[in-house]
Amino acid sequence: MDKTPLDKQFAPTARWGREAAAVRAILLAEGLSEEMKWGKPCYAHDGNNLCILQKMKDFLSLMFFKGFLLDDPAGVLEEQGENTRSAKRVCLTSVEQVEALEQVLRDLVHSAIRVEEEGLQLPERPELELVEELQEALDADSALKAAFEGLTPGRQRHYNLHIGSAKQASTRKRRVEQNKERILAGLGLRD
């Protein structure tokens, strides 16, 4: 029988496959549903996405979408990066570590379920302050401005971070020019 893309994620020979299978068993035992989303195993409760398994180079990540709101008395949740707003993850490197953290992982799942059941929401996202070169381009081109405003907030933020990360104004301007067609097409930076 052919394995599905989801099954292949947990094959013992797959990168982090044994660790992923150990985490999967915990998540499914807690009654979460499982499906492939964004090319990764994603786990939900009553239709609300709670967490996703991400295979990184040096570790397996169990990322909680609303990790910012979770109770974490064990202190295992980590920020994903300086620009991450709400998601937090647990980094795992062995089956033994998964087994040692089993109750902690179960508690995090319970906390994530509670967050959803109580309807807790993340704090309002601060207004996006666009880098000067991007703002100038939008002000000069109404079609580009309309297309940019039609993008999801995450895509807008991603463009702003990408363009703003350049040290020189000339590079920031070049990045705006390089991405105009993508923005006009309604695409994100990585679409």
Domain with residue 102: its CATH number is: 3.90.1150
Domain boundary among 67, 83, 117: 117
Verify that 106 and 148 share a domain, yes or no: no
Verify that 99 and 43 share a domain, yes or no: yes
In a domain, 179, yes or no: yes
Q: Let me know: does 55 contact 91? Beta carbons within 8 Å.
A: no
Predicted confidence at residue 138, as pLDDT, reads 96
Verify that 111 and 167 share a domain, yes or no: no
Cα 26 from chain centroid (whole Å): 21
Predicted confidence at residue 96, as pLDDT, reads 98
In a domain, 191, yes or no: no
Q: Show Cβ contacts of residue 1 under 8 Å, excluding neighbours closer than 6 positions.
A: none
Verify that 75 and 168 share a domain, yes or no: no
Verify that 111 and 149 share a domain, yes or no: no
Residue range 158-181: mean pLDDT, rounded: 96
In a domain, 122, yes or no: no
- pLDDT-derived band at 40, boundaries 50, 70, 90: very high
Is the pLDDT reported for residue 183 higher than 90? yes
In a domain, 125, yes or no: no
Verify that 91 and 149 share a domain, yes or no: no
Domain boundary among 60, 91, 117: 117
Domain boundary among 86, 117, 148: 117
Verify that 56 and 136 share a domain, yes or no: no
Structural domain boundaries enclosing 144: 132-184
Residue range 170-191: mean pLDDT, rounded: 95
Verify that 146 and 110 share a domain, yes or no: no
Alpha carbons 139 and 47: distance in angstroms, whole number: 40
Q: Say which residue, 153 or 103, is predicted with more confidence.
A: 103
SS3 153: helix
- pLDDT-derived band at 3, boundaries 50, 70, 90: low
In a domain, 127, yes or no: no
The string of pLDDT tens digits covering residues 55-74 is 999 999 999 999 999 999 99
Q: What share of the chain is helix, strand, coil (3-state, %, to 5)?
A: 45, 15, 40
Verify that 109 and 141 share a domain, yes or no: no
Verify that 101 and 150 share a domain, yes or no: no
Verify that 86 and 21 share a domain, yes or no: yes
Is the pLDDT reported for residue 161 higher than 70? yes
- pLDDT-derived band at 1, boundaries 50, 70, 90: very low
Residue range 111-132: mean pLDDT, rounded: 91
Q: Say which residue, 83 or 88, is predicted with more confidence.
A: 88
Verify that 98 and 17 share a domain, yes or no: yes
- pLDDT-derived band at 88, boundaries 50, 70, 90: very high
In a domain, 26, yes or no: yes
Residue range 159-187: mean pLDDT, rounded: 96
Domains: count for the chain? 2
